[in-house]
Structure 1
């Protein structure tokens, strides 16, 4: 059963009535199709109308939905023969950032991304997708490996931000993020980055400085979370909705600003309502982006990436 968000309360109430009718008629001879049909039509229209005019804060809530597909779901749906490669060869293996080799629709690829987890145990194991220095150093190692063998890199970004703990700072979090961003920009192979849900702060940019940046329709991408921004500007996280509006965190805003290259449409009501459909839609977009870079030389790939990021913010 879908978990409804706060702004979906009217939809939840209608769906609850539909479920009650179905439950009451289960195993009986009563035909309730005539009663359910108008209620279902009303629910579908309400869902369509609601998602057609989501505010930036509501999109943030959708991007954080606990049932939204994560890294492991996209890998399972798109990557064949995935072989995880762990460790940074210096300190430890970070479960928040996962990477490895596989085949994507006939192509060899290196896939790297954040895994948030989808229940309490897995969220703790993956540290809620918040990477530590060893995670970003692992990503650098895998990107260099891909570059050496001429393998395109696909990154799947979904994090509220890099881990802010003392231990991470002691091990050089800022330096690791900067080096990972540098590694993205220096690649002589295609890099296609996709923002799946949250793209928070440098923890996201460290894997998203690609030739093509794709973004799911209801994902968000920003330098800081709306709550963090509100706490700085207004001294209260209660202003998060205002911060989200001002920060232009949505895919639609970022496409207009030239920060991302393509918006990937999600199923009606968000990716969590039809995960398989969302996974395949992103796969189609990644395939198109990779195909567009076939035959480009390493230097041309670096130059196009450089030009893309230098153009941001120019008036």
Structure 2
């Protein structure tokens, strides 16, 4: 388990507890009471640290190397029913954007999401979760396929942004994202979106237009990352914590601004501390949202979605 800077008190207590347990096993000394006290102290420290995290600490948790990624959620939720589909039928298959058909119970879904890597080799293979235009065109192809067969779409967002390379711009990165946003507003099947990690810029929004949009507790969703915002405003990354606060990018902030529909609670310490619980929470949220949305007629579904986004940013004095 890797620990972030603000989690170091937890690391120290975990190490003390492990040593205490080891002493008890390898000697005749009774350390049971000491171990119990250390466990109580560890539990209290965890609660104290995670109950009031700053925006920047939540950004750090969203990037935790042990945090589950899109394929982890899909494999846990859909299991062996998931069948990945490849290619945009124009350029190639973008490994940073994955998608395919799968079932939760008896209900079929089209799962789409950005996928990051677990080590240096797979991060390069997945392009660090930053899709090229062909990734967004693949996503749109799969959405259109889902529409054809009346299958709800589930998108899982976890990207530091769309790939900003020269080749991506030459192949129409901006147009691909804009096209997805346009087509998703009028797609004739339910769209359920869950931010499971980083939700950065148009890279996330390219598959983020949903009837229901949810954020996991320790994720962020913003037009720009705190580091990039800091470098633009202060010409330095040193002010990234101030930028994170100013951007109002946490799930709580987004819910207050009515830009998302709900927050999915995470286990204490983040989704990586109890993956099974995190997977179950996301699964239950998807099923509940799908049940509600599938009651609507196609016309009402599209109308409500368009009204939802048209009303964002509108206010009366």
TM range (shorter): over 0.9
Q: What does residue 33 of structure 1 align with?
A: 32
Distance in 1, Cα, partners of 2:261 & 2:30? 50
Partner of 1:131, secondary structure, is coil
Q: Deviations over 1:209-236 (max 9, x none)?
A: 0000011011110001000001111111
Alignment of 1:199-214 (within 5 A): 199-214=199-214
Aligned 8 A contact 1:187 1:298 in 2: no
Distance 1:173 1:148 in 2: 26
CA contact (8 A) 1:195 1:219 kept: yes
Q: Secondary structure of 1:271's partner?
A: coil
Matches within 5 A, 1:219-234: 219-234=219-234
The one-character-per-residue Cα deviations of 1:105-133 (angstroms, maximum 9, x if unpaired) are 22011000011122222211111111110
* Structure 2 counterparts to residues 261-280 of structure 1, below 5 A: 261-280=261-280
| 1:99 aligned onto 2:99 | yes
Q: Provide, for residues 71-130 of structure 1, a one-character-per-residue CA deviation record: whole Å limited to 9, x for no partner.
A: 111011111411110000000000100000111222011000011122222211111111
Return 78-87 or 90-99, whichever deviates more: 78-87
The 2-side partners of 1:27 and 1:147 are apart by 62
Other-structure match for 1:296: 296
Partner of 1:129: 129
Equivalence for 1:188: 188
CA contact (8 A) 1:143 1:183 kept: no
Match of 1:19 in 2: 18
Aligned residue number for residue 239 of structure 1: 239
**Partners in 2 of 1:180 and 1:26 — Cα distance?**
59
Change (3 A) 1:229 1:29: same
Give the alignment of 1:41-56 within 5 angstroms. Answer: 41-56=40-55
Q: Deviations along 1:166-196, whole A, 9 cap, x unmatched? A: 1111111111111111221121000000000
Using the size of structure 1 for normalisation, the TM-score is: 0.97
Deviation, structure 1 residue 22? 2.1
**Structure 1 residue runs of 4+, over 6 Å off?**
none
In the alignment, which residue of structure 2 is the partner of 1:146?
A: 146
Distance of 2:90 and 2:132 partners within structure 1: 13
Query: Structure 1 regions of 5+ residues with no counterpart?
Result: none
The structural deviation recorded for 1:12 is: 1.3
Decide whether the 8 Å contact of 1:220 with 1:251 is kept in 2. Answer: yes
In the alignment, the residues of structure 1 paired with residue 68 and residue 109 of structure 2 have an alpha-carbon distance, to the nearest angstrom, of 20
State the Cα deviation string for residues 251-290 of structure 1 (Å, max 9, x = none): 0000000111010000011111111110110111111111
Residues 215 and 260 of structure 2 are in contact (CA less than 8 Å); yes or no, is this contact kept in structure 1?
yes
Q: Could you state the TM-score of these two structures normalised by the residue count of structure 2? A: 0.97
What count of residue pairs does the alignment treat as equivalent? 314
Deviates more, 1:28-37 or 1:70-79: 28-37
Give the deviation of 1:30 after TM superposition.
Answer: 3.7
